[in-house]
Amino acid sequence: MLLDTASLYFRAFYGVPDTLTAPDGTPVNAVRGLLDMITRLVRGRQPGALVACWDTDWRPAFRVAAISSYKAHRARPDGSEEVPAALEIQVPVIEEVLKAAGITVAGAPGYEADDIIGTLTARTDGPVEVVTGDRDLFQLVDDSQPVLVLYTARGFGRMETIDEAAVSERYQIPPRSYADFAVLRGDPSDGLPGVPGVGDKTAAALVRAFPSIEAMVTAIDAGHGGFPGTSRPKLAAAREYLRVAPGVVRVAVDAPVPTLSARLPVTHVDAERLAALDARWDLGSSLRRALAALGAPGL
């Protein structure tokens, strides 16, 4: 099980009352909410291994170099991510608590959590479940491995299991084409402009007609047909965007993630550090339930 950790702690922050606080009044709703999510996931899905995938770089330079608008609307003047102050103070606490609880936290310099998820999925022969509220990770869905997405966008109580049939039903495309579909239609939430005049239906028709964005550009250059409706001149006008955008939307499968040992039940629990964190932040029953679900030894 691979957690898109930032996606989950943002959901916890907005979904759990901010009346949950540490003794000094600091909010801990995201910390406790994430622990409760992990408890529910581990108990309900019984994964054999668990990795909390981390945004070491939320806006990687290679993506910004390709498309300068990538997540630009979420950036502060200093380049950091615009995050509510009450959540920002909790993020380092979340990382420390997860590590002390024996949960493997994985990241790589210059890469987003999506890339860590893509890389670990590519390295794994057996079943993988990806927990996220980000549709971009639908590109990893693969019934043959299988790779499923546990999609949290409608809330944890209405979490959806996304397999190939679910992607096809939503978008009329196979999951392997989802990244190219997103390139074509764009995604305002990520600052991805898309091809002007190409919406969901045309984007889906294009990725059904061509195996890749690169194949579309090659067909335009060669004078070939097969373009639905009036899409050909629109793609031709967006040639430079189409050249760089796939590298922004497709998740990396070769990020420099070290070899991990993430088996459950957890074995490397820092009980002394956890006790100190609990005393400082009052993590209470959320921490105890999570440790019990993880099979923490001697706790």
pLDDT tens for 231-241 read 999 999 999 99
Q: Can you list the domains of the chain with their CATH numbers?
A: 2-174+252-294 (3.40.50.1010), 175-249 (1.10.150.20)
Coil, helix or strand at residue 257: coil
Burial class of 143 by CB neighbour count within 10 A (0 to 12, 13 to 18, 19+) = exposed
pLDDT tens for 114-162 read 999 999 999 999 999 999 999 999 999 999 999 999 999 988 889 999 9
What is the torsional sign of CA 282, 100, 40, 132? positive
**pLDDT at position 114:** 98
Of 104, 99, 43, 34, residue with least CA distance to 293:
43
Q: Who contacts 165 (Cβ-Cβ below 8 Å, separation ≥6)?
A: none
pLDDT tens for 162-179 read 999 999 999 999 999 999
Q: Is the pLDDT at 213 greater than 70, yes or no?
A: yes
Q: What is the mean pLDDT of residues 227-252?
A: 96
Q: Is the pLDDT at 299 greater than 80, yes or no?
A: no
Q: Pull the structure tokens for residue 15.
A: 């979904």
**pLDDT at position 262:** 94
- Phi, psi dihedrals of residue 83, rounded to the nearest 5°: -130, 140
139 vs 251: CA distance, rounded Å: 8
Q: How many CB atoms lie within 10 A of CB 244?
A: 13
What is the torsional sign of CA 148, 264, 99, 17? positive
69 vs 71: CA distance, rounded Å: 6
Residue whose structure tokens are 């590298």:
247
Q: What is the mean pLDDT of residues 16-26?
A: 96
